[in-house]
């Protein structure tokens, strides 16, 4: 007899039920639908069945009242939950399914997420896809597979439960029968992820399952799924789309699909699918259908959206393999024998529809960094075909350009391991990168390389400076200040020998104008080598430039201006920061040439350049 089984809390501890939906809590998303669409489609894409056409995902909303509502509530068997509402009521969203179950006209809101051309949740009950989705928490075995999958943390189930006001889902799946599935071809199981609580003098984790009790003596042991024809019959009563043995795939039913912003909306689901999955949609490798109360909404069309069009043009150039008049390709040097990917960039002009579409309220966008297409952002894409983030940097420019970076398959595993649980950025500091050789270095090279190429592209878009006015203009005056000894001026560039290191100023510190009004950048070039008489073949040194404010309107004396520092023979070696330290190997026979470029600062400031070179290690 199928029924709900609640998990007992034991001395061994373990995660509470609420750990599952809470795990996907993340700020910055414009709606609950965004994270749901990103993760739900990713789960389906990861389960794609090759040779069966594109992955198809259907989001279907139903709002049941009166008799239809009563019928479904009866099948859900919610009496054990109602008995616990005295201890759970304040821990669940107000107006949840239990609280409004006796109101016939209060809609029971349901969201079905159904995929096709996928493999379904087959496998062993203790180790297969079924087990990993519904029972494990934080199990990340997918991360170690270099298979181009998107998920890697084992929290995909949390996005479904998070969007249920009762933290409850039902999962119905059909798959190829095998010895591992005991010959079964369909499974159905209910899951609830509630806060831990006490009930009838016993402690419970909050996790519960609806299925066939295992028969074990251990109270609270998870049940077996309902299988085959019995699963199909119950699925029909719960409103799932009909599936037979040949209709492989998985359907998830979210009970009480009321987010904190209200009932989940088709418009938000559509916008989210277009924003994050446009690469796979445009390639024809994914179709998404939206249905509400049996009425299908118009199809998705990301290409019509002005805010996505420049990103799409960039990716088209990448797939085509060459740039054009409006889109420029930027390549990357191989790193440790691995290809990193391709970046395409395009200018966005004020007279283009995309200009206005990419505008965001500055305060709002500050909280949503990377969570929306915007000016001066780059769409990060790897093998699954989802936009991981619209990466933004603090690049001062009145001009706009956007880009798309398509990662090479060589580094897909590196980037997957660098992603946090929300899969919303590539973090070169991720501890999981230690599993791969040069893991941190590869991801850092990609991040820094994209930032610097975007910055340089914006510089290329700047109009030439106006001709100088009669006499010495303000830029000439500032140039004179840095080259002429004065109390407030910057000293000459470093020259000569420091210990066993020789430093030569190849291009003396000088100012260049920016497009940001009364602001300038400082630029300089140095070369470094070992002195010929040093008894060393090679040494590792740290090159540490500092640009200090001596006097200025908004700059306190002693403040440091952030710098970009890189070796001219490796553009991916860029280090950025107010206290940037660039490590390099030097010899006596070849000079290392280093470029230094500051962030923009006020032309009214007086600044001073200071260079330190310290020896870190040596090779005799």
Structure-token pair, residue 418:
């660098």
Share of the chain above pLDDT 90, in %: 53
- For 140-195, what is each residue's pLDDT tens digit? 555 455 555 545 445 667 889 889 999 999 999 999 999 999 999 999 999 998 98
- For 241-284, what is each residue's pLDDT tens digit? 999 999 999 999 999 998 666 789 999 999 999 999 999 999 99
3-class SS of residue 440: helix
pLDDT of 469 higher than 80: no
pLDDT of 25 higher than 80: no
Q: What sign does the CA torsion over 286, 292, 296, 302 have?
A: negative
Mean pLDDT of the chain: 85
Least confident of 6-15, 195-204, 508-517: 6-15
Least confident of 51-55, 203-207, 400-404, 492-496: 492-496
pLDDT band, residue 490 (cuts 50/70/90): very low
- For 273-319, what is each residue's pLDDT tens digit? 999 999 999 999 999 999 999 999 999 999 999 999 999 999 999 99
The pLDDT, as a whole number, for residue 23 is 57
Span 511-527, mean pLDDT? 84
Q: Are strands 258-259 and 592-598 parallel, antiparallel or unpaired?
A: unpaired
The pLDDT, as a whole number, for residue 368 is 57
**Element holding 265 (H helix, E strand):** none
Enumerate helices (H) and strands (E) in the chain, giving the number of each. 14, 28
The pLDDT, as a whole number, for residue 363 is 42
Residue 266: Cβ-neighbour burial (10 angstroms; 0-12, 13-18, 19+): middle
Q: pTM of the predicted model, to two decimals?
A: 0.74
- For 405-457, what is each residue's pLDDT tens digit? 999 999 999 999 999 888 889 999 999 999 999 999 999 999 999 999 999 99
CA distance 173 to 163: 20
Taking phi over 0 as left and psi of -120 to 50 as alpha, with beta for the rest, 414 belongs to alpha
Q: Name the residue among 252, 250, 6 with its Cα closest to residue 123.
A: 250
pLDDT of 586 higher than 70: yes
The pLDDT, as a whole number, for residue 496 is 47
Structure-token pair, residue 559:
């403040």
Q: Residue holding tokens 């040779």?
A: 51
Q: Name the residue among 20, 254, 288 with its Cα closest to residue 132.
A: 20
Span 318-341, mean pLDDT? 94
CA distance 522 to 500: 28
Residue 472 vs residues 108, 189, 252, 469, 522: alpha-carbon distances, Å = 76, 80, 72, 7, 19
Residue 40: Cβ-neighbour burial (10 angstroms; 0-12, 13-18, 19+): buried
């Amino acid at each position: 007899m199928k029924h709900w089984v609640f998990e007992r809390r034991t001395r061994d501890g373990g995660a509470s039920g609420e750990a599952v939906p809470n795990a996907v809590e993340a700020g910055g998303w414009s709606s609950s639908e965004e994270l749901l669409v990103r993760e739900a489609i990713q789960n389906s894409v990861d389960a794609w069945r090759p040779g069966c056409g594109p992955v198809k995902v259907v989001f279907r909303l139903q709002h049941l009242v009166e008799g239809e509502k009563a019928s479904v509530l009866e099948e859900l068997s919610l009496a054990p939950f109602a008995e616990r509402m005295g201890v759970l009521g304040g821990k669940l969203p107000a107006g949840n399914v239990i609280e409004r179950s006796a109101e016939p006209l209060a809609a029971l809101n349901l969201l079905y997420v159904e995929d096709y051309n996928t493999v379904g949740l087959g496998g062993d009950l203790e180790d297969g896809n079924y087990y990993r989705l519904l029972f494990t928490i934080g199990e990340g075995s997918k991360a170690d597979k270099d298979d181009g999958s998107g998920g890697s943390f084992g929290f995909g189930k949390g996005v479904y439960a998070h969007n249920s006001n009762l933290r409850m889902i039902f999962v119905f799946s059909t798959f190829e029968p095998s010895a591992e599935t005991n010959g079964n071809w369909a499974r159905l199981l209910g899951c609830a992820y509630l806060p831990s609580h006490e009930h009838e003098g016993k402690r419970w984790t909050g996790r519960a399952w609806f299925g066939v009790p295992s028969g074990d003596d251990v109270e609270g042991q998870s049940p077996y799924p309902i299988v085959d024809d019995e699963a199909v019959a119950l699925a029909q009563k719960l409103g799932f789309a009909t599936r037979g043995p040949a209709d492989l795939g998985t359907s998830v039913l979210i009970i009480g699909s009321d987010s904190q912003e209200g009932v989940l909306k088709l418009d938000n689901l559509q916008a989210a699918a277009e924003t994050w999955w446009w690469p796979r949609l445009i390639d024809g490798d994914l179709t998404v259908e939206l249905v509400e109360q049996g009425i299908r909404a118009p199809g998705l069309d990301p290409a019509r959206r002005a805010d996505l069009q420049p990103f799409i043009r960039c990716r088209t150039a990448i797939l085509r393999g060459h740039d054009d008049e409006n889109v420029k390709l930027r390549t990357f040097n191989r790193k440790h024998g691995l290809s990193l990917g391709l970046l395409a960039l395009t200018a966005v002009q004020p007279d283009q529809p995309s200009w206005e579409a990419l505008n965001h309220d500055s305060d709002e966008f500050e909280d949503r960094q990377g969570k929306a297409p915007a000016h001066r952002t780059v769409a990060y894409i790897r093998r699954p075909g989802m936009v991981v983030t619209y990466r933004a940097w603090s690049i001062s420019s009145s001009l706009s350009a956007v880009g798309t970076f398509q990662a090479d398959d060589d580094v897909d595993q590196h980037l997957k391991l660098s992603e946090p649980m929300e899969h919303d950025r590539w973090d070169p500091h991720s501890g999981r990168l230690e599993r791969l050789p040069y893991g941190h270095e590869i991801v850092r090279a990609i991040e820094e390389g994209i930032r610097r190429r975007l910055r340089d592209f914006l510089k290329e878009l700047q109009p030439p400076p106006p001709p100088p006015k009669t006499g010495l203009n303000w830029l000439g005056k500032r140039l004179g200040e840095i080259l002429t000894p004065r109390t407030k001026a910057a000293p000459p560039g470093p020259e000569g020998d420091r210990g066993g290191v020789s430093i030569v100023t190849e291009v003396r510190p000088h100012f260049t104008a920016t497009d940001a009004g009364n602001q300038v950048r400082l630029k300089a070039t140095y070369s470094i080598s070992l002195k010929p008489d040093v008894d060393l073949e090679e040494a590792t040194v740290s090159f540490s430039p500092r640009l200090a404010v001596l006097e200025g309107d908004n700059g306190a004396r002693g403040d440091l201006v952030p710098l970009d520092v890189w070796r001219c023979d490796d553009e991916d070696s860029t280090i950025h920061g107010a206290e940037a330290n660039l490590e390099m190997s030097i010899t006596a026979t070849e000079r290392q040439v280093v470029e230094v470029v500051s962030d923009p600062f006020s032309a009214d400031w007086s600044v001073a350049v200071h260079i330190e070179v310290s020896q870190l290690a040596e090779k005799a």
